[in-house]
Amino acid sequence: MHRVSVPDLCDYSGVVKLSNVDVQIGSQIRWLREAREMKTSDVARCCGITIAEYEACEAGARRFHAWELAEIAKALDVGVGDIMLAVTDPENSKVLAPSRRKTNS
């Protein structure tokens, strides 16, 4: 059995360390938001979090909660998997169309 020691996940004060994955997810969300010409305040409001909390997540300075990722995906009209492409398939993560929303033309 592999045991993870506390210093692997936390600094010595017990604070959870953020990783490159957090930065990749934040970057993907920022790219998707900007491709849709949305403001950080628009997405934050949809998620029920403050603009500062949202911007910290986009910058990789704060982790998104799973429920926040689901709400952000809904606000950006993508699936959570589209957000996770930044981690699982970085080379193809920026190929999504600007929006999959249906327009009434």
Nearest to 57 by CA among 81, 77, 79, 33: 33
When pLDDT is cut at 50, 70 and 90, the band that residue 89 belongs to is confident
Model pLDDT, residue 2: 44
How far apart are alpha carbons 47 and 31 in whole angstroms? 17
In this predicted structure, the answer to whether residue 80 has a pLDDT above a threshold of 60 is yes
pLDDT tens digits, 52-66: 999 999 998 888 889
> All domains of the chain, ordered by start, with CATH?
18-90 (1.10.260.40)
Residue 7 has pLDDT above 50, yes or no: no
- Provide the pLDDT confidence category of residue 85 given band limits of 50, 70 and 90: confident
Residue type present at position 46: C
**Better-scored residue on pLDDT, 43 or 24:** 43
